[in-house]
């Protein structure tokens, strides 16, 4: 299995009605790689990420996770994948959302334990044990009884990360995990992500945190109007790219972030 990529996207396209949101996307992510997706608002970053776990069905092309096509059967013509097969593939793919999406009617501990019980078939006791360990890992052991409404944004996002990690994913998707946070809370979430990267987790991260992208990413892909127009090492994309759309984007970014 060593030479099978964790994620392989080939010619992926997606339209919403008349609007083509992704065109001819090719992207390969190897095990333990960290890839950051950057680009202007509306360029299709979230849509691309959501195609990887098939929260958004793509129209054309292929998305393979460890060699397996996600969302469709391998037959020709292809048909939608049976629900249970898709659910099984999703267990291996964690996702962290901009707005956390914790379940408000469950405590932090219950949020983390729920999928272990309902999806992995753990006993309540085993699930609670694992959930406690996961909360401790993101530094929130003492918040296990709190409901999400009682947690800060940074704490909520760390619970959401723990909820994904509890499932032992082999791939983690992050969609602007710090964009909804007050500036002073961004650091604690990025630190958890840095630790995760250092432990060898395969990660695809949509982000506007260029500092994080520059220091953690193995590769950066720049999206514009649904296409990957630049891709390479952080240095190549952030400092050496001749692509005018990348330069324009970075210039706007620097202007907005200097005062």
> Where does this chain bind ligand ATP (CB under 6 A)?
16, 19, 21, 39, 41-47
Cβ-count burial of 232 within 10 angstroms (0-12 exposed, 13-18 middle, 19+ buried)? middle
Neighbours of 201 (CB within 10 A): 19
1 or 19: whose CB is closer to ligand ATP?
A: 19
| DSSP letters for 36-94 | EEE--TTSSHHHHHHHHTTSS--SEEEEEETTEESSB-SSSS--BPPHHHHHHHHTTEE
Q: CB of residue 168 vs other proteins: minimum separation in angstroms?
A: 12
Q: Which is it for strands 34-38 and 60-65: parallel, antiparallel or unpaired?
A: unpaired
Selection from other proteins, ligand ATP, Mg ion, none that 118 binds (CB < 5 to 8 A by kind) is other proteins
Could you say which of 43, 46, 107, 207 contacts Mg ion (CB under 5 A)? Answer: 46
Q: CB of residue 85 vs ligand ATP: minimum separation in angstroms?
A: 24
Q: CB of residue 203 vs ligand ATP: minimum separation in angstroms?
A: 17
Q: Return residues touching other proteins (CB under 8 A).
A: 53, 55, 83-84, 87-88, 90-91, 93-95, 97, 99, 101-105, 114-115, 118-119, 147-150, 160, 163-164, 167
41 or 75: whose CB is closer to Mg ion?
A: 41
What does the buried/exposed string (b/e) look like for 24-36 if buried means 16 or more CB atoms within 10 Å of the residue's CB?
Answer: ebebebbbebbbb
Q: CB of residue 179 vs ligand ATP: minimum separation in angstroms?
A: 8
Q: Which of 27, 40, 10 is nearest to 224 (CA)?
A: 40
87 or 248: whose CB is closer to other proteins?
A: 87
């Amino acid at each position: 299995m060593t030479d099978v990529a964790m994620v392989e996207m080939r010619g992926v396209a997606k339209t919403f009605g008349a609007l083509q949101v992704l065109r001819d996307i090719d992207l390969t992510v190897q095990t333990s790689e960290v890839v950051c997706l950057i680009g202007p608002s509306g360029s299709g970053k979230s849509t691309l990420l959501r195609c990887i776990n098939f929260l958004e069905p793509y129209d054309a092309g292929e998305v393979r996770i460890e060699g397996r096509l996600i969302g469709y059967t391998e037959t020709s013509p292809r048909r939608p994948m049976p629900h249970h097969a898709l659910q099984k593939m999703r267990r291996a793919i964690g996702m962290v959302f901009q707005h956390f999406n914790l379940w408000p009617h469950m405590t932090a501990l219950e949020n983390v334990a729920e999928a272990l019980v309902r999806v992995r078939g753990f006993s309540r006791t085993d699930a609670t044990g694992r959930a406690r360990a996961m909360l401790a890992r993101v530094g929130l052991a003492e918040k296990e009884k709190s409901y999400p409404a009682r947690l800060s944004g940074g704490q909520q996002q760390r619970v959401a990360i723990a909820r994904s990690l509890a499932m032992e994913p082999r791939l983690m998707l992050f969609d602007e995990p710090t964009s909804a946070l007050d500036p002073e809370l961004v650091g604690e979430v990025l630190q958890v992500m840095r630790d995760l990267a250092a432990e060898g987790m395969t990660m695809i991260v949509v982000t506007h945190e260029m500092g994080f992208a520059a220091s953690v990413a193995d590769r950066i892909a720049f999206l514009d109007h649904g296409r990957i127009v630049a891709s390479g090492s952080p240095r190549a994309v952030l400092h050496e790219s001749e692509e005018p759309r990348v330069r324009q984007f970075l210039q706007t970014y620097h202007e907005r972030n200097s005062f």
